[in-house]
Amino acid sequence: MAYYSTETATLVPIPTSGFSRWFPICLLDEKYIIINIMQLNFAYSPCPNDTYTYFGIMSGKIVLEDHKIEIHHHDIETLNKHAIAGTYEITKMSFFTWLKLKDKYGLLRAGNSLGFGCGPILISKKKEIKASDLPFLRIVLPGELTTANLLFSLYSPRSKHKSYVQYDQIFNEMNSRRADCGVVIHESRFLYEKEGFYKVCDLGVWWEETAKVPIPLGAVGIRSDLLKELDGKIEGLIKQSLDLSKSSPQIAMPYIKKMAIEMEDQVIDRHIKTFVNSFTYDLGDKGMEAINKLEEMARSAGIIQ
């Protein structure tokens, strides 16, 4: 960022429509010189794949000239709600939510969560649950706006007895017998067997077999009222941040562990390896094909208009 090295420099926030600008004001030869610094708010989840990907930006080791980036952490459903409200200039959100907000948020090609073998998993306390049973059972999901909910709705369209809690409360809802089945995401994918649950269906595998493309989970949106030239700059920033964590994971790990709900090294490592891949670096043609397929199926099912 462009700051003058002088004892008289101050930082003055001036609100504008849509976002804040910060102006370093410096007294030079008895005249004030103003340099335009844009503040950008960037929101993502505290999950290991996000904190790994964005550590460089959060730590200030990777910076964007003439910009001040403020970091905000929320669970995925809270991020989705903030996206609907347009709270943050740059934000992670579920692809299900992004499909509804395409006119408000552009899609960055870097930082997204897509892949194979990383989808939500439908679980139960009982072994013998079948797909035909699901319409008669109570299903708890990690948010109405999540891609997990979209995928389950595509898989079991007749299921209407649904409730929603934060993703890390799914096990509690089922153990309290308030739900018969649950859809788990994030680190819960790696812990459900240890917690005494059984897999009913891997919705990621079902998607891959049905759609023949990777599964789009989390999108990085940039608000459409920002200058279009920012897209490439932010994408470059994300790629640099990702490169830093790949080359020096040890410096990112304290931050990753601090933010993670599940602290075990093995779970964190599996989480990062599962959700951080080539699609995180760049969507590519295959990634865009997967997103288009998700939208096509959601529209065909009448889930989005």
Active site residues: 186
CA 44/CA 93 separation, integer angstroms: 8
Q: Which helix (H) or strand (E) holds 219?
A: strand 215-223
Q: Which of 4, 301, 5 is nearest to 153 (CA)?
A: 301
Structure tokens at 188: 């819960």
β-sheet bridge partners, residue 66: none
Among all chains, which residue has been given the structure tokens 């550590």? 55
CA 119/CA 113 separation, integer angstroms: 10
CA 176/CA 180 separation, integer angstroms: 10
CA 174/CA 231 separation, integer angstroms: 42
Q: How many CB atoms lie within 10 A of CB 238?
A: 26
Contacts of 289 (CB under 8 A, 6+ apart): 213
Structure tokens at 20: 């804040």
